[in-house]
């Protein structure tokens, strides 16, 4: 498969548009305090109650004015959640694009068609947070993730900002473009997306526990006196 054919793949092209949008939102939130305040004002608000956001979000909406309201709502919700983060946590657009395989190198690698899910973010929160001032316990992660997967579109929009905010407080990265894609698809494909979130969570947790057990076995073999 050539690079050109990969670029023309609709799924990959759509992913690139979403990455470009979320990177731009992060950029203006980092560089323009007024824009960040305007975008943050839309957290948990409806489309008819966010007049300060239209200037920034409307030009990015697909299909001109024909985008379904649920898709428009997803664009606004993700922008508001990005803006709600502390300014210092916003990733530079160059770093985000490079991480997604879209760097400006002479022969950039094709961007992956899909990003990482919210389920993986919850698993990483459990792995990374012990010992910090705040931490995510296994039971808390499972409870929060299962709560999200049982929601209607309205319920997901209601609960998601708090869950994402908690993950960001723990320093867990969020794949904003994939979250946007999942929010757009949620009204029609919530079951499939929920399954992916939960599978990613338990797959990552299983891998982490295996790695921790292997390290413990190795330490016991190398230092038998200290482990007795």
pLDDT(208) > 80: yes
Q: Could you tell me what percent of the chain has a pLDDT over 70?
A: 80
148 inside domain: yes
95 inside domain: no
149 inside domain: yes
25 inside domain: yes
103 inside domain: no
Which pTM value belongs to this model? Answer: 0.83
123 inside domain: yes
145 inside domain: yes
pLDDT digit string, tens, across residues 170-205? 889 999 999 999 999 999 999 999 999 999 999 999
Number of domains in the chain: 1
- Name the 3-class secondary structure at 37: helix
CB of 158 within 8 A of CB of 78? no
Q: How many CB atoms lie within 10 A of CB 2?
A: 8
Range of the domain at 162: 9-88+114-220
CB of 156 within 8 A of CB of 183? yes
Tell me what pLDDT residue 190 has.
Answer: 97
Tell me what pLDDT residue 129 has.
Answer: 62
Q: What's the CATH code of the domain at 213?
A: 1.10.520.40
Tell me what pLDDT residue 12 has.
Answer: 87
């Amino acid at each position: 498969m050539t690079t050109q054919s990969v670029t023309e793949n609709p799924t990959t092209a759509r992913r690139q548009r979403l990455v470009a949008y979320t990177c731009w939102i992060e950029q203006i939130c980092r560089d323009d305090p007024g824009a960040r305040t305007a975008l943050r004002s839309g957290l948990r608000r409806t489309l008819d109650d966010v007049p300060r956001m239209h200037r920034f979000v409307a030009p990015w909406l697909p299909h001109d004015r024909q985008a379904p309201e649920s898709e428009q709502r997803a664009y606004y919700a993700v922008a508001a959640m990005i803006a709600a983060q502390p300014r210092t946590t916003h990733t530079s657009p160059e770093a985000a694009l490079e991480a997604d395989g879209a760097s400006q190198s002479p022969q950039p690698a094709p961007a992956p068609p899909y990003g990482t899910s919210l389920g993986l973010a919850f698993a990483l929160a459990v792995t990374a947070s012990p010992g910090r001032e705040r931490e995510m316990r296994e039971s808390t992660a499972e409870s929060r993730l299962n709560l999200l997967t049982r929601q209607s579109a309205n319920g997901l929009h209601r609960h998601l900002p708090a869950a994402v905010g908690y993950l960001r407080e723990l320093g867990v990265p969020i794949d904003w473009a994939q979250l946007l894609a999942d929010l757009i698809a949620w009204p029609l494909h919530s079951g499939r997306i929920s399954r992916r979130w939960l599978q990613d969570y338990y797959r990552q947790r299983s891998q982490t526990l295996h790695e921790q057990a292997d390290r413990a076995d190795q330490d016991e073999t190398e230092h038998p006196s200290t482990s007795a």
